[in-house]
Structure 1
Amino acid sequence: MTPVVDGIAATLGPLCEVVLHDYRRPEASVVAVAGSVTGRTVGGAMSEIGMRVLARGAEAADDLNYLTRTRGGRLVKSSTMVLRDSAGAVFGALCLNLDVTAVGQVHSLLGTLAGLDGAPAEPPTTTFGNDIDSVVDALVDAHQVRQRGSWAELDRAERVELFRGLDARGVFAVRRAVEQVAARLGISRASAYHYLSLARAATGTTPDGGSA
């Protein structure tokens, strides 16, 4: 599919980036890239968007024309198209990222000139990192910020919810993610597995040590 990647990027121009992922190797899922919007490179890791696709498993579906923002501040319109093998199992994705920062600025200016009140909802910030560790760390940090407290300040229910949220986003589909999350939170590996087990029990998910 590499010629498809190059062809789409050439057709849509310099503000477009096309990324081909092989999700069977999350730590180095990027197998082809054309254009430069998120700074992806061949051999780079999947983003949290890819983790969410893995977390949905057989229920994963194409996600088209959603807005996100890079950590550098670029406003990006993206589409993630799921790739399946002959048995229907998800193995990768073809992703399009279009830098619409300038379009957003013009839209805001025209709205102000027209006297239209109310700012549009701020799109979520996505960590596009070529290192899978940076992606996992960003997700853990974002969850802690939302819960407004360090691990020591969270009660048992909040700790379970933190692990449930990370699991729902596919973090633990990444090899050695449990150990990394434990280190980021400053807890033992055993404690991390304990809270992951509680989170999965609460949602009726069967723990899968192999995916963690």
Structure 2
Amino acid sequence: MKKSALAREHESLLDQVKQIADGLGQTFAPFCEVVVHDLRDPGHAILAIHNNLSGRAVGDPATELGLARIADEDYPQLLTNYPNQFGDGRRAKSTSVGIKDSSGRYVAALCLNVDLNLFRGIQNVLEQFCTASGAGVKESLDPANAEAIRERIDQYAMSLSTTPQALKTEHRRALMQELKQAGFLEVRKSMEIIAAHLGVSRATVYNDAK
């Protein structure tokens, strides 16, 4: 029996979503579960699952969110970073993208579920590593006002929607004039600080300051 144009469209959409899910799953393994839901068959909606963190399987039914999309074509197509929870209690952060056909009907959903426990563990390790002890000992290896210079450079770069390392020559020259007028070039080792933060040589900084 010949398939209708709409059925062929649905198959094409699902095939593409499955490829996207596969790519996302490989990129964000192992901490992000990526699931493809076929909303045309809510009783057996899960079509593909990568980095299985929830314990579900292909052929499992649609979630409440999937059922809501099936029932309402005006349901939000994009839901990002909402709190969620796996079956064993682990906290998760989820994003769900609804996929519509040319008629505006939901036919699929692409969902990402990030395991926050792993990141919280990494965060705790980093916090412990970055905590300095040694009460009563005070020392700075950074020249005075160095951080103020870096912050001024960062602010200038952000005003141009770029990074310090990506500043063009004309922008670097304008920045140097701003730093000069603000008195930052009088700071000890200012040229070395600026060059390091911009990712250029000291000779370039001296030339830009002329």
Which bracket does the TM-score occupy, shorter chain normalised?
Answer: 0.3 to 0.5
Tell me the TM-score normalised to structure 1 length.
0.47
Name which one, 1 or 2, has greater alpha-carbon Rg.
Answer: 2
Structure number with the bigger relative contact order (C-alpha 8 A, sep ≥ 6) is 1
